[in-house]
Amino acid sequence: MSPQRSSGSRRAGRHVAPPESKKSSRLAGAREDAARGLTPSPPVSDADTRSTSLDLHSHGISGRVSIESAMKQMNRTAQQTLLVIGPGNHLLGVLTDGDIRRFILRTGGIQGTVLMCCNRSPLYVTEATRASARALMREKIIQKLPVVDSRQRVVDIILGEGLLGTDRPNPALAGFPVVIMAGGMGVRLEPFTKILPKPLMPIGDKPVIEHIMDRMNSRGFQNFYLSVHHKAEMIKSYFDNTKVPYRIRYLREKTFLGTAGSLRLLPAGFPDTFVLSNCDILVEADYKAILDYHLNNGNLVTVVGAFQQFQIPYGVIAFSKEGRVKEIREKPSFDYTVNAGVYVIQKSALTCIPKGDGLFHMTDLIRQLLRQRKKVGLYHVDSHSFVDIGELELFKKNVGRIIEITNPG
């Protein structure tokens, strides 16, 4: 085993098994691997049930490609750790979503190649030391470990799904309350919200807000505050008659106060650091890592942002002021980091909220903090970790994803 240390993934890369493919799809995959600098390899015996059979198409990436391309591959394949592969399947490094996040914080953008961003001293095992893989992965908190030959070529990849118990509650999160903004009218989900408040929109056999709290409770959060206004009694009645393994309290808005205005209602003695979430999103992330990042950087507010790609379904024309066509780009795509609707907040930031019962949103609070040159941080998650059901089409599209996340296995 290599004695080298790694900053390797501290979150599990979810293994997505490749579908049964026909000859044409195998050829297409081989062509794509070649374009990305990956050498096709024969399958490895899957006697070890945690072997990937060397699926470098999903688990590997060339060091020459852009960081933006790596983010897109992570989103497409739901992998949060990629092996950085050179010619002949030579192991060059390991790239995690955490590596990308640190690169963005260090440089302010994603301009660069994978080799500029990845960990160049990754952990690995050989066939001779393969038996030590399980203990090593548990000790170093990694869930993807390459197996290399004597020439540092990747011959297999070992996955540790379930090895670390990443879904077990983290006791460190129990002291941080979660405030969920559940007082809005749900206009974007009409006509359903004419009858039900948005937090009670059903997904499977539970309302969306219960899915959100159940999932956060599974990570270790135990105390929830629901800010309620529209159809507040209906929300309270539901939970009064539903047994849940966590504590729920209510912030009652006499008039709709906005996404930050309701924080005026937090009780005396409220903890200094808390999480704030919309009631129509689910962010599947390492909340302990988010809180550590927030506290270690001394932020007053940390915004969780999700990488998203948007494609224009038309050809876009660039033209001069004289009306001459300069360029036509066919169906271009644009990449943005969007507000995922989850924040970590210091109670001291709330002094920027005006007194009274006026409407005040989180965007207003952040603008106020920035004017005062206070620290507002950004924590990136990939697009696969962010599920939005705030609009009717998104609700229809993402119901299955919510059920998948909240009912693992």
Q: Please indicate, yes or no, if residue 271 is contained in any of the structural domains.
A: yes
pLDDT band of 178, cuts 50, 70, 90: very high
Same domain for 63 and 146, yes or no, is yes
Q: Which range is most confident: 137-141, 180-184, 291-295? A: 291-295
Cα–Cα nearest to 301, from 222, 365, 220, 223: 365
**What's the rounded Cα separation, in Å, for the pair 254 and 228?**
9
Domain that residue 254 falls in: 171-406
pLDDT digits over 230-262, tens only? 889 999 999 999 999 999 999 999 998 999 999
pLDDT digits over 262-272, tens only? 999 999 999 99
Q: How many domains does the chain have?
A: 2
Q: At what angle do helices 97-107 and 67-77 cross, to 10 degrees?
A: 150
**What's the rounded Cα separation, in Å, for the pair 302 and 289?**
12
Q: Please indicate, yes or no, if residue 164 is contained in any of the structural domains.
A: no
The stretch 351-362 carries a mean pLDDT of 93
pLDDT digits over 21-38, tens only? 333 333 333 333 333 334
Q: In this structure, which amino acid lies at residue 378? A: L
Cα–Cα nearest to 102, from 10, 178, 185: 10
On average, the pLDDT of the chain sits at: 80
pLDDT digits over 34-71, tens only? 333 343 333 333 333 345 455 677 788 999 999 888 88
Which of 115, 139, 159 terminates a domain? The answer is: 159
Which of 95, 130, 159 terminates a domain? The answer is: 159
Is 73 or 221 the better-scoring residue by pLDDT? Answer: 221
Q: Please indicate, yes or no, if residue 6 is contained in any of the structural domains.
A: no
The stretch 141-163 carries a mean pLDDT of 81
Q: Please indicate, yes or no, if residue 7 is contained in any of the structural domains.
A: no
pLDDT band of 97, cuts 50, 70, 90: confident
285: which DSSP letter?
Answer: S
Q: Please indicate, yes or no, if residue 119 is contained in any of the structural domains.
A: yes
pLDDT digits over 77-94, tens only? 767 789 999 998 899 999
Q: Please indicate, yes or no, if residue 12 is contained in any of the structural domains.
A: no
Same domain for 228 and 274, yes or no, is yes
Across 8-12, 169-173, 270-274, 283-287, least confident range:
8-12
Same domain for 182 and 329, yes or no, is yes
CATH of the domain at 82: 3.10.580.10
Same domain for 292 and 176, yes or no, is yes
Is 122:6 a contact under the CB 8 Å cutoff? yes
Q: Please indicate, yes or no, if residue 13 is contained in any of the structural domains.
A: no
Q: Please indicate, yes or no, if residue 310 is contained in any of the structural domains.
A: yes
